[in-house]
Amino acid sequence: MQKDEIKVIEMPTWLVFEDEPQIHQMVLTIYETLGVNGIAIATGEEALRWIDQVDSGRYSGELPQLALLDVHLPGRVTGEMVGQRIRKSPILQNMVLVLMTAYELSPQEEQDIIARSGSDTILYKPLPSLRELHNIFYGLLAGR
């Protein structure tokens, strides 16, 4: 590379599936702080349409490596259902999936929803510190 050339560094892309605008904006800010491009999707129905676009080749953006997925999305399509659909996608099936919820779950309920959704783990709102999120997200990505 010559000294006057600028090297463009591609930032990874992560998703957040969250209906509450304040939370999805906070997550996008966290992603930006971590050096990541963020995409926010607000409903389960919108998530399924996006997955269909990816699978049909109609999505031209960078494919995300990780998704933070609210368990309780509004409408008929839950976060759990979105996770199941991602795991069936030939293109997205290996994406890291992290569920999040404000509802207290028993250890058995946690295990069940993680298994049913195909997620890697679950986090509780309020979300952990930036450092903890960094360690969780990059730890899961390193395990892929």
Report the pLDDT averaged over residues 72-91: 96
Question: Using one digit for the tens of pLDDT, what is the confidence trace for 5-19?
Answer: 665 567 899 999 999
Question: Strand pairing partners for 38?
Answer: 14
pLDDT at 121: 98
Indicate the Cα dihedral angle 49, 55, 56, 60, nearest 10°. 80
Q: Which CATH architecture has domain 13-142?
A: 3-Layer(aba) Sandwich (3.40)
Rounded to whole angstroms, what are the CA distances from 35 to 11, 28, 60, 94? 6, 11, 21, 21
Least confident stretch, 9-13, 79-83, 108-112:
9-13
Sorted by where each begins, the domain ranges of the chain are 13-142
pLDDT at 3: 62
- What is the DSSP secondary structure assignment for residue 74, as one 8-state letter? S
Q: Can you give the pTM of this predicted structure?
A: 0.91
pLDDT at 111: 98
